[in-house]
Structure formats: structure tokens, C-alpha cells
Structure 1
Amino acid sequence: MNDIALDSRTGVSTDMTRRKKRNGRALILFACLWLVLISSGIYGAKWYTDRIQQNISASLERQTASQITAMQQTYEARMKELETNYTADIADLGAKVDALNELLTFTKDNADSKTDNSNKLYTQLNEVKKQLNELQKSLEVLK
């Protein structure tokens, strides 16, 4: 009986060791499965955030490019407008300068001719006075 009891104890202990091994394997398998799930979740989250980041970057790049294009077109339009206004102002100023030059030339010509005319008139007036004086002398002699 002693042997039977010993055999039954060894049978139970062998049975328990098998269960412990199965439980250990199951625990290791469960842990590995959880590690795979957690790793795939982390990888999926990383992949998703990278994809979202690329989409946002591409969207920002498109928006920036369109804003730069709009600003450049606005800048070019303003520059053309300024250039047109500048050219028109320069043309107006040139016309005013030409008109002023003509007026100055006309004034100079008139001033010169008036001076000449006044000099001529003064000379003629002096001559007339001389003749008048001579005539008065002649009249006095005749008297």
C-alpha cells in the first residue's frame, strides 16, 4: 500500500507538473499575443499619425503656394499700376515743363522786344526832343 500511495502521489504530482507546464505555456502564449497586439497597435498609431502629418503638410504646402501666388499677382498688379501712374505723372510733368519753357521763351522774347521797343521809343523820343529844341531855336531866331 505504501507503493500504491507513493504511485498515486507521483501520478498526482506528474499531473500537476503537466498542468503547470500547460499553464506556463498558455501564459507565455497569452503574453506573446498581448505583445503582438500592443506592438501592432503602436505601429498602427505611428503609421496613422505619419499619414495624417503628411496630409497636413501637403495641405499646408498647397495653401502656402496659393497664397504666395495670390500675393505675387497682387504685388505685380500694384507695381504695374504704380508704373503706369508714374509714367503718366512723368508725362504730365514733362508737358508742364514744356509749357513753362514756351511761356518763359515767349516772355523773354516779349521782354526783349519790349526793351528793344522801349529803347527805340526812347531814342526816337530823344530825337524828337532834339528836333523840337532845334525848331524852337529856329523860331526864336525867326522872331
Structure 2
Amino acid sequence: MNDLQLEHATTGRKETSTRKKKGNAAFLLFIGIWILLIGGGLFGAKLYTDKMQRDITADIHRQTSAQIADMQKAYDGRLAELETTYAGEITLLKEKIDALNELLTFTKDNADSKTDNSNKLYTQLNEVKKQLNELKKSLDVLK
């Protein structure tokens, strides 16, 4: 009977140790699967956030480009309008200067000495030339 008890005790220990090894292996497999799932989730989240960041950046770039193009069109339109306005004013001033030059020439030819009218015409002519120069400078600055 001793042999039978001894054999039973030996097989009981083997079964317990095999169960422990199977339990440890199952636990390690369970932990390994969870680590893989968590790692996969983190990797997926990283890929998703990177894609969202690229999409948002592209969208912002597209919106910014459209706004810049609109602002450039508006600026070019205003600049063209100012140029035509200044060109018209410069043409009017040139016509006035030419008329004053003709009047001044006529006055000089008819006057026997320098008179106040001649001085007034010279003063007016100089003022108009100054205004013309200022307008030209303003137009150059706008360009």
C-alpha cells in the first residue's frame, strides 16, 4: 500500500505542477494579448491623430490661400482705381498748367513792365507745379 500511496502522491504533485504551468501560461498569454491590444490601440490612435492633423493643416492652408487671393484681388482693384484717378487728376493739372503758360506768355507779350498780374500768374503756376509733383510722388508710392 505504501507504493500505491507513494504513486498517488507523486501523480498528484505532477498534476498540480502541470496545472500551475498551464495556469501561468494562460495568464501570460492573456497579458500578452492585452499588451498587443493596447499597443494596437495606441498605434491606431497615433495614426488617426496624424491623419486629422494633416487634414486640418491642408484645410487651413486652402482657406488661407483663398483669403490671400481675395485680398490680392481687392488690393489690385483699389490700386488700379487710384491710378486711374491720379492719372485723371494729373491730366487735368497738365491742362491747367498749359493754359496758365499760354496766359502767361500772352501777358508777358502784352505787358510793357512787370506787373502784379504777371507775378500772380507765376505764383499760380508754381503752386500748380508743386501739386503736380506731389501727385506724381503719391502715385509712385502707390505703385
TM-score category (smaller protein): 0.7 to 0.9
1:43 partnered with 2:43: yes
Note the 1:1-143 alignment, pairs <5 A.
1-112=1-112
Query: Can you list the C-alpha shifts for 1:87-124, whole angstroms capped at 9, x where unaligned?
Result: 111101101101111111121122149xxxxxxxxxxx
Q: Which ranges in structure 1 are unaligned for 5 or more consecutive residues?
A: 114-143
TM-score normalised by structure 1 residue count: 0.74
Divergent runs of 4+, >4 A? none
Query: How far has the Cα of 1:2 moved from its partner?
Result: 2.1
- Output the CA distance in 2 between the equivalents of 1:105 and 1:112: 13
Higher RCO (Cα < 8 Å, 6 or more apart): 2
Query: How far has the Cα of 1:61 moved from its partner?
Result: 0.8
- Output the CA distance in 1 between the equivalents of 2:6 and 2:78: 106
Rg larger in structure: 1
Query: Can you list the C-alpha shifts for 1:49-95, whole angstroms capped at 9, x where unaligned?
Result: 01100110110110111011011111211211121112111101101
* Amino acid paired to 1:106: F
* Amino acid paired to 1:54: R
- Output the CA distance in 2 between the equivalents of 1:58 and 1:112: 80
Query: How far has the Cα of 1:42 moved from its partner?
Result: 0.5
* Amino acid paired to 2:45: A
TM-score normalised by structure 2 residue count: 0.74
Moved more, 78-87 or 44-53: 78-87
- Output the CA distance in 2 between the equivalents of 1:74 and 1:112: 58
